[in-house]
Amino acid sequence: MIRFIDERWADILFRSYQHGSLVIQSLILATLIGVGIAVLVTTYRGLSPAANAISAVGLTIPSFALLGLLLPFTGIGVVPSVIAVTFYAVLPILRNAVVGLQSVDGGIIESARGQGMNAMTIFWRVRLPLAWPVIMTGIRVSAQMSMGVAAIAAYVLGPGLGPYIFTGLSTVGGANALNYAVVGTVGIIVVALLLDALLVLFARLTTSKGIRA
Amino acid sequence: MTENHTDTGAQIELIDVVKRYPGQENAAVDDLSLTVPAGETVMFVGPSGCGKTTSLKMINRLIEPTSGQILIDGEDVTTKDATELRRSIGYVIQGGGLMPHMTVAENIGLVPGLLKWEKRRTRDRADELLDMVGLDPSTYRDRYPRELSGGQQQRVGVARGLAADPPVILMDEPFGAVDPITRQRLQDELMNIQAELHKTIVCVTHDIDEAIKLGDRILILKQGGRIAQYDTPEQILSAPSDDFAADFVGSGSKLKQLSLLRVRDLELVRPVTCRVGEDVDEVVARAEEAGEQSVIILDERDRPLEWVFLRTLRRHSTVTDPERELHTVVDHRSTLADALDSMLVSSHGGAMVTEGGRYIGVISYDTVTEHIRSAQNGES
Ligand SMILES: Nc1ncnc2c1ncn2[C@@H]1O[C@H](COP(=O)(O)OP(=O)(O)OP(=O)(O)O)[C@@H](O)[C@H]1O
Ligand SMILES: [Mg+2]
């Protein structure tokens, strides 16, 4: 095992970096999309059931199937990976953003209106900051989920730690099968823990001390 | 609040204002016409659901009237952009309505910020206002609302309403959520601020005593925002226009007259005072010469610290700061009703009186009862 790692040190690091980078890029996209849709949904209440339905159905689509659907359109490469990971990452963020934005106390919004804030200012300076801790929780859930999705995406499309796991699984009994599977899995867990720690730190820095738990 | 002054407030006029909420048969406010003179405080009272809040919120267009006109300083409020309008009207609500994610200074600086004041000016203004509402700026400016007591949050709410120096201030049950002692303090502070600033204040309250104490005029509303009576507190107490108004003011209007009389209208007595650090023997000698059993301790800025019996004072050789919270202090603008309240917790048969925080004398229980007796004799 040690020799296995020693021989592929650079490759493992590089794949870990690819994996993390794929997830982070997708998360950023997913946050923009998720919060954006949440704003629409909470502004026009009629849209709310539709959004709930989509996020419920969306989570039931197996990621392999989604990748299969995407392949004819996007071909192989980073783009379909990002699309697939983002697709799943949006769902928890969307759900939390809707809950977070809806739970902002109406009295506070009215107080803000009464001071002379317009709708735009109220969104940026009141609703978003107050909903932020809940949205951040959604982002953390998304990040963990995306780690797994990214592994599957990578099996089909190339980059990241995914191929290690699948190489291991497909050569069961072979010389390095166990090594591949273990290094791939543990690698993903390590990247996931690192990213979560980063997100916790980020949440602390971006949440007002007045509403921190 | 009738001293000579220049008003910084603006006149508010409601003309045939109607508000009908969708899907409701009866209008919440039905044809309300009313003039609030510049620089006066008008209190809206009436039973729950009679349309007080609705009427108030139509002034800053948080609620749009169904018909009718509202003029501030002669200008129709609907001709202005609603958010611009609200920046020129202070708005104070129950509990303060503070933004939980902003510090005290940021909350107070909200409207100045929207008006694009310079950062420095906004900051100085926040400090100035904290001072005005009795909170030490260096202690409180960087705190968050959840780190304040209910009364302190309410003070900050008042400060925020005053921040951009608006001519008109709307208040919806501003002191409804605090305990009676804090409420009395907050009322006193508001009276002091208003005596200085002469804003036009429209204030909704459930508490007729608060209305009598704070209002230059009182508006008593019936269901549907119909006026039962609109008059000075004196007139409302002595000549209620109908049974509804009389019922609302309630029985014991003799006692309520106590809310019309201010401490400063009566004569104060001046017991012996002393300061922290003075030699106790000297102080005791002075008090005994004056034939008194107790003295009042002041700090270096003339604020009263405690009213102590000589035997308590003798426990130390120099006068020390007792560092207790005082409950037997009233402002010289307080009502006799408040003063009597304070006296109930005093063991000296009186309450210390301050003007702008500085001690000016003592109002004694005997003075108050003597005054009531002579007033009654005068009436009968
Ligand atoms: N947003 C609304 N939609 C429908 N009806 C409303 C709305 N707001 C108030 N009302 C109704 O209008 C009437 C007046 O309400 P308003 O809030 O002005 O009363 P209020 O005098 O402030 O009462 P309270 O003393 O309980 O605060 C009530 O009958 C109330 O039910
Ligand atoms: Mg109300």
My answer on whether B271 and B144 are in the same domain is no
Determine what percent of chain A is predicted with pLDDT higher than 90: 33
Residue B7 in any domain: the answer is no
pLDDT confidence of residue B253: 59
Picking from B211, B191, B194, B195, the residue whose alpha carbon sits closest to that of residue B203 is B211
Query: Are residue B289 and residue B142 in the same domain, yes or no?
Result: no
Q: Cβ of A130 and B101 within 8 Å?
A: yes
B199 and B114 co-located in one domain:
yes
Number of domains in chain B: 2
B117 and B21 within one domain: yes
Indicate whether B213 and B241 sit together in one domain.
yes
Query: Is B111 within 8 Å of chain A by CB?
Result: yes
Is it the case that residue B162 has pLDDT exceeding 80? Answer: yes
Q: Which residue is associated with the tokens 């270096």?
A: B300
Of the ranges A5-19, A22-36, A52-66, the best mean pLDDT one: A22-36
Put simply, the answer to whether A116 touches B103 (Cβ < 8 Å) is no
Q: How many CA atoms lie within 13 A of B223 on its CB side?
A: 1
Given B212, B234, B257, which residue is the final one in a domain? B257
CA terminus-to-terminus distance, chain B: 29
> Mutation test of the interface with chain A: which of B61, B83, B104, choosing the one with the most A Cβ atoms within 10 A?
B83
Among B29, B50, B171, B172, which residue has the most ligand 1 atoms within 8 Å of its CB, making it the best to mutate? B50
- Vertex A39 angle, CA A34 and A43, to 5°: 150
Q: Tell me, yes or no, whether B203 lies in a domain.
A: yes
Residue owning the nearest CA to atom 22 of ligand 1: B53
pTM of the complete model: 0.81
In a domain, B4, yes or no: no
d(CA B342, CA A185): 73
For residue range B1-58, what is the model confidence (pLDDT) as tens digits?
Answer: 444 445 578 999 999 999 999 988 899 999 999 999 999 999 999 999 999 999 999 9
Q: Identify the domain boundary among B214, B242, B257.
A: B257
B64 lines ligand 1 (CB under 6 A): no
B196 Cα to chain A: minimum distance (Å): 23
Whether B280 maps to a domain, the answer reads yes
Nearest bound ligand to CA B48? 1
Q: Based on the domain organization, do B233 and B315 belong to the same domain?
A: no
User: CA A197, CA A190: separation in Å to the nearest integer?
Assistant: 11
From the CA atom positions of chain B, what is the Rg in Å?
23
- Verify whether the Cβ–Cβ distance B102 to A210 is below 8 Å: yes
Domain extent, residue B336, equals 264-376
With CB atoms and an 8 Å threshold, state whether B99 touches A113.
Answer: no
Q: What is the mean pLDDT of residues A108-120?
A: 94
Q: Say what percent of chain B tops pLDDT 70.
A: 95
Question: A126 to chain B: which residues are within 8 Å by CB?
Answer: 99
Q: At what angle do helices B336-344 and B180-197 cross, to 10 degrees?
A: 140
For B323, the 3-state DSSP assignment is coil
Pocket probe mutation, ligand 1, options B26, B44, B52, max atoms within 8 Å of Cβ: B52
ipTM (interface predicted TM)? 0.81
Q: Confirm if B255 and B248 have CB atoms less than 8 A apart.
A: no
Query: What pLDDT sits at residue A70?
Result: 66
Task: Give the span between the Cα atoms of A91 and A95, in whole angstroms.
Answer: 6
Inter-chain CB proximity A111 and B93 less than 8 Å: yes
How many residues are listed for chain B in this entry? 380
Q: Measured between CA atoms, how close is A116 to chain B, in angstroms?
A: 4
Q: Do B97 and A130 touch (CB under 8 A)?
A: no
B86 found inside a domain: yes
CA A88 to chain centroid, in Å, comes to 7
- What is d(CA A182, CA A1) in angstroms, rounded to the nearest whole number? 9
Alpha-carbon distance of A16 to A32, in angstroms, equals: 25
Q: How high is the pLDDT of residue A27?
A: 93
Where does a domain end: B214, B232, B257? B257
State in Å: Cα A129 to ligand 2 middle. 28
Average pLDDT, chain A: 82
Q: Check whether A46 has a pLDDT greater than 90.
A: no
pLDDT at res. B238: 82
Same domain, B274 and B222: no
Domain membership of residue B6 (yes or no) is no
Q: Does residue B33 sit in the same domain as residue B117?
A: yes
Domain contains B105: yes
- At residue B8, the pLDDT reads 77
Task: Read off the pLDDT of each residue in B256-265 and give the average, rounded to a whole number.
Answer: 80
Among A25-29, A82-86, B304-308, which stretch is predicted with the lowest mean pLDDT? Answer: A82-86
Q: Does B142 touch chain A (CB under 8 A)?
A: no
How far is the C-alpha of A70 from the C-alpha of A83, rounded, in Å?
9
Determine which of A111, A117, A128, A211 to mutate to test the interface with B (most B C-beta atoms within 10 Å).
A111
CB-based contact A130:B129 (threshold 8 Å): no
What is the rounded CA–CA span in Å between residue B57 and residue B171?
Answer: 10
Q: Which of A126, A142, A119 is nearest to A196 (CA)?
A: A142
Query: What does residue B133 show for φ and ψ, rounded to 5 degrees?
Result: -95, 15
Q: Tell me if B76 sits within 8 A of B127, measured CB to CB.
A: no
Binning pLDDT at 50, 70 and 90, where does residue B380 land? very low
Q: Which ligand is nearest to the CA of B172?
A: 2
Sign of torsion over alpha carbons B178, B182, B188, B190: negative
Looking only at the bridges linking them, the beta strands covering B67-72 and B41-45 are unpaired
Asked if residue B19 has its Cβ within 6 Å of ligand 1, the reply is no
Residue A213 CA to residue A207 CA, distance in Å, equals 10
Distance between CA atoms of B197 and B86, rounded to whole angstroms? 19
The Cβ of residue B148 has, within 10 Å, a number of other Cβ atoms equal to 18
Q: Is the CB of B57 under 6 A from ligand 1?
A: no
B211 with B152, same domain?
yes
pLDDT of B222-254, one tens digit each?
Answer: 999 999 999 999 888 888 888 888 888 876 656
B177 at interface of A, judged by CB pairs closer than 8 A: no
Q: The domain that contains B111 carries what CATH number?
A: 3.40.50.300
Give pLDDT tens digits for B63-80.
999 999 999 999 999 999
- B45 C-beta closer than 6 A to ligand 1: no
CATH number for B314: 3.10.580.10
Strand partners for A160: none
pLDDT at A72: 66
Task: Sketch out chain A's domains with CATH numbers.
Answer: 2-211 (1.10.3720.10)
**No. of helices (H) and no. of strands (E), chain B:** 16, 16
Same domain for B189 and B283, yes or no, is no
Rounded distance, CA B57 to CA B34, Å? 15
Given this model, what pLDDT does residue B2 score?
Answer: 43
Considering the domain architecture, whether residues B299 and B243 belong to the same structural domain is answered as no
Contact criterion met (CB < 8 Å) for B144 and A210: yes
What is the CA B218 to chain-centroid distance, rounded? Answer: 15
Among the listed residues B58, B60, B156, B143, the one whose alpha carbon sits nearest the alpha carbon of residue B110? B156
Whether residues B311 and B253 share a domain: the answer is no
Look at ligand 1, atom 5, and give the residue with the nearest C-alpha.
B21
Question: Phi and psi (nearest 5°) for B165?
Answer: 55, 50
pLDDT at A190: 85
Sign of the alpha-carbon dihedral angle for B3, B6, B8, B11? positive
Which stretches does DSSP call E strand in chain B?
Answer: 12-19, 29-36, 41-45, 67-72, 75-76, 89-93, 168-172, 200-204, 217-222, 226-231, 273-275, 294-298, 304-309, 329-331, 350-355, 358-364
Euclidean distance between CA atoms B158 and B173, whole angstroms: 12
Domain contains B241 = yes
Q: What pLDDT shows up at residue B166?
A: 95
CA A203 vs CA A25, A32, A197, A198, B106: distances in Å: 17, 16, 10, 9, 21
Cα(B328)–Cα(B345) distance, rounded to whole angstroms?
7
Ligand 1 nearest-atom number relative to CA B22 = 4
Sheet of B294-298, strand order:
B273-275, B294-298, B304-309
